[in-house]
Chains A and B, each alone.
Chain A
Amino acid sequence: MEKTANRLRELRKVRGQTQEEMAKDLGVTRQTVISIEKGEYIPSTTLALKIARLLKKPVEDIFWLE
């Protein structure tokens, strides 16, 4: 079964943001950012697009199937 992977942690660190700060920018809880980074929670399309907009990257540069 295919799994959704991401490099949110890496991109967040490039921006110099903490999980708390990113969560605030995205309007979600810190636990949600943690869960996404760990791959435990797959965000909705809306949230994935918000993340892409925040990071100024295409969605597929952040999330991909493996």
Chain B
Amino acid sequence: MKKTLYPVLSVITILAFGFLVMYMLYGSGETPIFIIMAIFAIILGAAILALVWPRFSGTSTVTPGQSPFLVSRGVYFLMVIVLLVSFLLEGFNSSSPWSFLYPSENPFVPILSIAIIVGLYLVLYLRKSVREKYSFVELWTMKANDEREQHIIDDAARKTYGFMRMLVVIMGLGFFAFQLLGMSFPAFSVGYILFLFIFVAHAYFMFLLRKITD
């Protein structure tokens, strides 16, 4: 059953993510940027598909010694780059099409939320057991030292990906429901929540890695 389920869910995830990206851009009202970013979303979707398909279709060829990180690293990297750059560089500029990413009522809300999430992330990263084993860079590119580590990392990557997939699908359906009901989305924007849960997902991933030195 998994052989069928994983690709289907992966496609749903990719479509949901593409939908969210386009929703974010459509909300900006900047048509040329919308077109460019829609193309970007399709490329991004194709890239994610290429990364997840072999693993979640049950045809993974990953063996001990290879990085089991394909899914998480690829997905995180692309999403983090897109969202970090847009969020941090342009978000506070009110004339920017990305300014809608910020809850306008209270600037302390995003700042405080980011501080909490980054703090959580750092606390988990700075766990002695994980830090002694891998550097920050290695956490994104590491290769398992043996089959047991591979098993742990692989399991953590799958669980984290499942967690992200669940969140994206729920968010996609939620926003769709909001649209159907003719309601505008409240203070927390799509991009803002996406940005937050990427950090939560990575923190969760690193929390699962604690087993490496248990």
Looking at the assembled complex, report how far the CB atom of A50 sits from the nearest CB atom of chain B, in whole angstroms. 11
Q: Is A4 an interface residue (CB 8 A)?
A: no
Q: Is A35 an interface residue (CB 8 A)?
A: yes
- What residues on B are CB-neighbors of A16 within 8 Å? none
A41/B148 in contact, CB under 8 A: yes
Looking at the assembled complex, report how far the CB atom of A24 sits from the nearest CB atom of chain B, in whole angstroms. 12
Once the chains are docked, how many angstroms separate the CA of A28 from the CA of B149? 9
A28 partner, pick from B147, B213, B214, beta carbons under 8 A = B147
B146/A27 in contact, CB under 8 A: yes
Query: How many A residues touch B, CB cutoff 8 Å?
Result: 11
Q: In B197-214, which residues have CB < 8 Å from any A CB?
A: 212-214
Looking at the assembled complex, report how far the CB atom of A45 sits from the nearest CB atom of chain B, in whole angstroms. 11
- What residues on A are CB-neighbors of B214 within 8 Å? 31
Query: How many B residues touch A, CB cutoff 8 Å?
Result: 10
- What residues on A are CB-neighbors of B213 within 8 Å? 31
Closest A residue to B152 using CB positions: A41
- What residues on B are CB-neighbors of A27 within 8 Å? 146
Looking at the assembled complex, report how far the CB atom of A47 sits from the nearest CB atom of chain B, in whole angstroms. 6
Closest A residue to B144 using CB positions: A29
Q: Is B145 an interface residue (CB 8 A)?
A: yes
Interface string of A26-54 (1 = CB under 8 A from B): 01110110010000010110110000000
- What residues on A are CB-neighbors of B149 within 8 Å? 29, 32
B148/A35 in contact, CB under 8 A: yes
- What residues on A are CB-neighbors of B151 within 8 Å? 41
- What residues on B are CB-neighbors of A29 within 8 Å? 145-146, 148-149
Once the chains are docked, how many angstroms separate the CA of A29 from the CA of B146? 7
Closest B residue to A35 using CB positions: B148
A47/B147 in contact, CB under 8 A: yes
Q: Other CB < 8 Å A-B pairs besides A29-B146, A43-B148, 6 of them? A: A28-B145, A31-B213, A32-B147, A35-B148, A43-B147, A46-B147
User: Which residue numbers of B lie inside 8 Å of A, CB to CB?
Assistant: 64, 145-149, 151, 212-214
Q: Which 4 A-B pairs have the closest CB atoms?
A: A28-B146, A32-B148, A41-B148, A29-B145
